[in-house]
Amino acid sequence: MALEKPEKDWWKPLTKDERIWIAVALVWMLISFFYMPYAHIAGSQNPPDETYRVSPEQFSSLVDAMVEKYQVGEEQGVPVVHPDPSEPVYLKSSMWEWYPILELEKGKTYRIHLSSVDIQHGFSLLPLNLNLMVLPGYDYVMEITPMESGEYHIVCNEYCGLGHHLMVGKLYVR
């Protein structure tokens, strides 16, 4: 097949179907456009706005102090910690581990401090859809009140190297 010149008058008026689809796309685009600021203000799904600078060394020592005070068990070398809701709770991410395993009480409100001691990781709480970026040098404070008891998993959703797929932590709600 030889290449041919395009038709001179390639433009044809829009058909009815095309007009409908353009209208649908336009309306949907406008809904999305206005919904974003609305959800930011009215929805309660914003990422935490309480953050602090923290060095990996400082953060590690806060984690270790909590583990020493509230450890109640151990699973595959990772301490299980049952912290006091009135005190800050720390969760450390590193290649390729969430540390420690937290055991929380249903209906109590906790302030969980999240940070990484090496590179960027992603906190993803399953089966809930709670996702946060975890960065070295920053302490993110998320306030949570678990409402259902059970066993939850924390998966890393930010590719962080060879062991990324093994980076699964646990969280218990009793």
**Where does this chain bind Cu ion (CB under 5 A)?**
121, 156, 160, 164, 167
Nearer to Cu ion, 153 or 164 (CB): 164
Nearer to Cu ion, 108 or 164 (CB): 164
Least CB distance to Cu ion at residue 132 (A): 12
- The b-or-e profile of 38-76 (16+ CB within 10 A means b, else e) is eeeeeeeeeeeeeeeebeeeebbebbeebbeebeeeeee
Distance CA 73, CA 71 (A): 6
Least CB distance to Cu ion at residue 10 (A): 50
Contact by Cβ (8 Å): 111, 88:
yes
Q: To 10 degrees, the CA torsion angle through 75, 81, 82, 87?
A: -170
Nearer to Cu ion, 56 or 105 (CB): 56
Nearer to Cu ion, 3 or 162 (CB): 162
Least CB distance to Cu ion at residue 42 (A): 32
Least CB distance to Cu ion at residue 17 (A): 46
